[in-house]
Amino acid sequence: MLIVTGGAGFLGSALLWGLNAAGRDDILVVDNLGCGEKWKNLVNRRFVDYLHKDAFLAAISRQEKPFGDVEAVVHLGACSSTTETDAEYLMRNNFAYTRAVARYALAQGARLVVASSAATYGDGSAGFDDDPAGLDRLKPLNMYGYSKHLFDLWARREGVLDALASLKFFNVFGPNEYHKGEMRSVVCKAYRQIKETGRLKLFRSYRPEYANGGQQRDFLYVKDAVAVMVWLVEHPEVGGLYNVGAGLARTWNDLAAAVFAAMEREPAIDYVDMPEALRGKYQYFTEAKMERLRAAGYDRPFTGLEDGVDDYIRGYLSGADPYL
């Protein structure tokens, strides 16, 4: 059996899609569905059972093997809001919970894949190298990134980092992110904004070396993120810390052009002031160094930005069924 925590979330439900496509439905989904519409991410998917995240934590805390023999645990459950300010909550929900899951999985010899984040790199001044030797140089700009960074530091300190795979995801976009509110990708928000107004708002730049809309990010289509995770589940011998991005920085203007093209509209962009609260915490450039994952044996190509945006908009956002 496989366990996917955060299995009803964006990455988690997309992973279920990938696992189902690979012929796997012997999956326990762990999550907190709450009162929103996250449950819709599960409608098209196949799995054997669902368990609330608190019940799961209680079970693995009481018993060594509460679910029998488990082949792999993919831990994607976390608060993913980069603007969350409740540090105690993030320490408990992101760091301590992930540590408990890791201890459980490693104790019974199950394959463990966990989600870290490119937010751990902070402003990027220390680079985007996923070599664990450089972890001490990183200074995340927000508490979300710090909560993820703490787990990577813990795993290295405990000597278990090579026994699991911790994935630093960059800017992931794609189907099944609809429940995330303000944490949805700009692609998703741009589609709705353009459909309603015909125009798109992007943040102005406050650094002279970047033009308005010229800020750069490493945009990753969710299907590529899924392909990496499925490959790692199938290759338990591969362990360590890995970036998961397209490996190429693109501008917000590039992304906007791709959205307008997929919607068959001429670009119409308005540059607006960035909220004061974000200006000191804004990443102007991210680009994943992908050499370590490639050296580990992952050789599939990554989807280009324009192709990923086109597939997302034409195949899902404007399609009959927006869900994977």
Q: What residues are labeled active site?
A: 144, 180
Report the C-alpha gap between 188 and 312 in whole angstroms.
9
Q: Which long-range contacts (CB under 8 A, 24 or more apart) does 22-26 make?
A: 22/230, 22/234, 26/1, 26/2
Q: Tell me how crowded residue 279 is: count the other CB atoms within 10 A of its CB.
A: 11
Q: How far apart are CA 224 and CA 18, in angstroms?
A: 10
Helix/strand/coil for 285: strand
Residue with tokens 């699991």: 164
Please state whether beta strands 2-5 and 171-173 pair in parallel, antiparallel, or not at all (unpaired): unpaired
Contact 238, 27 (CB under 8 A): no
